[in-house]
Homo-oligomer: A and B are copies of this chain.
Amino acid sequence: MKQLCGNAVVGQSGGPTAAINATLAGVIRGVKENVHGGCIHTLYGMRNGVEGLLEERLIDLTSYFDSEEKLELLEHTPAAALGSCRKKLPKSGENDAFYEQMIAIFRKYDIRYFFYIGGNDSMDTVAKLSAYTKSHDYEMVILGVPKTIDNDLVGTDHTPGFGSAAKYIAVTTQEIIRDCAVYRVPAVTIIEIMGRDAGWLTAASAIGRVVNGMEPDLVYLPERVFDMQQFFADVRAALAKHPNVVVAVSEGIRFADGHYVGEGTQTGAKDAFGHAYLAGTGKALELAVKAEIGCKVRSIELNLPQRCASHLASATDILESIAVGRAAIQAASEGVTRQMMTIQRISDVPYMNEIWHSDVSEIANKIRYVDDAFINEAGNHVTDACCRYLLPLIQGEASCKYENGLPKHLVF
């Protein structure tokens, strides 16, 4: 097989995570370790994803990362070191000039390899660019490298970034449960967790069950219709058992009529992909419980820290994120294109997996929901099987470096 030779470009897109920079480091490591057998010369980073690519805001990563120290620092820096964007590419045939401009930049920089690290919406970019270059005269390898805390990409056992967010949520929930247990006054604490469509992150609040038996009393995922009267009954039953009730809810839970529970208090704003911007699911339930049951109620929105708390990253997640990035370089050099890298689980105990890839057009714009077998019959908690699936992903603590009491981050 003739190898395509030239330069490569890598970008980060979508919401930040604690592990997306580890994947970037994996891509850089793959290039520097020559796993591609010499076909990639320079690896460019695009600032702010495809937006920066169009503006030719490129950085030569091969030169910049001249030390192991810098790479390790990058692996423990949260967010997205190259910057991100939420740009949606035009549909095929709608704006060819856009794609031609992109290809002109590829030609100018002799870019033959395109790696895009991101989630669902980013895979849409990868799929569209793949389709365009395939049907037009520019030979190029295009790979998606998965990243999303939401764990909602199909075709992969889980997504890099999810394990660290899951660990943050699992640990924080344990600490909140301990905090709530100090008083004897009946009280309900509602933890609102990210997850617009899929409840994976919220499910992670319950991992403690299979470790130490400590878990929220109730867990509600967007995969099940939310019924307020049933919720009140569930909370009352929990309060009858002990005074400190902890409830975990996904931001995306909806009523039978399709309306979000948090919709009453939301702004109606939508993001670039048309997703409703939610706020206030926990707050809405707090007010409802206060009105209906009248006990002390508090809601806690885990908010941004759940996706950027690299001080509490999962070592398993960070190592896998690096491995997936490195594997993308290897796969690309073998001619794999228009695919997204995936993780295939081989066994839970001992936890084993292998890295593979899957057609990106079969992945983009689909959502992987929490399996039916992972949700209990009453729809108000997760099953042991769910905890067993999640547990391996939060193993190990990724030791970030501290300097003067604060974590060291790489900013470039």
**Interface residues of A, Cβ cutoff 8 Å to B:** 12, 16, 48, 51, 77-80, 83-86, 167, 170-172, 174-176, 178-184, 189, 207-208, 210-212, 214, 267, 290, 298, 300-301, 303-305, 307-312, 314, 391, 394-397, 402-409, 411
Contacts and interface: CB of A to CB of B under 8 A. Distances in A.
A174 B409 contact: yes
A175 B207 contact: no
B172 A405 contact: no
A179 B78 contact: yes
Copies of this chain, whole number: 2
Nearest to A212: B406
A304 to B, nearest CB: 5
B211 A406 contact: yes
A211 B304 contact: no
Contacts of A395: 404-405
Most buried by B among A51, A179, A397, A407: A179
A341 to B, nearest CB: 22
B312 A79 contact: no
Contacts of A411: 178, 214
A201 to B, nearest CB: 15
A344 B183 CA distance: 32
30 contacts: A16-B178, A16-B179, A48-B184, A51-B184, A78-B175, A78-B179, A80-B182, A83-B181, A83-B184, A86-B183, A170-B406, A171-B406, A174-B407, A174-B409, A176-B304, A179-B304, A180-B304, A189-B304, A207-B406, A208-B406, A210-B404, A211-B403, A212-B406, A212-B408, A214-B409, A267-B290, A301-B301, A305-B305, A395-B404, A396-B405
Contacts of A77: 178
Contact of A405 (B79, B167, B175, B179): B167
A48 B183 contact: yes
Most buried by B among A176, A208, A391: A176
A346 to B, nearest CB: 19
A212 to B, nearest CB: 7
A406 B206 CA distance: 11
Given A175-B308, A391-B404, 11 more contacts: A12-B182, A48-B184, A79-B181, A84-B183, A85-B183, A171-B407, A175-B310, A298-B303, A300-B303, A312-B312, A394-B406
Contact of A311 (B171, B183, B211, B394): B171
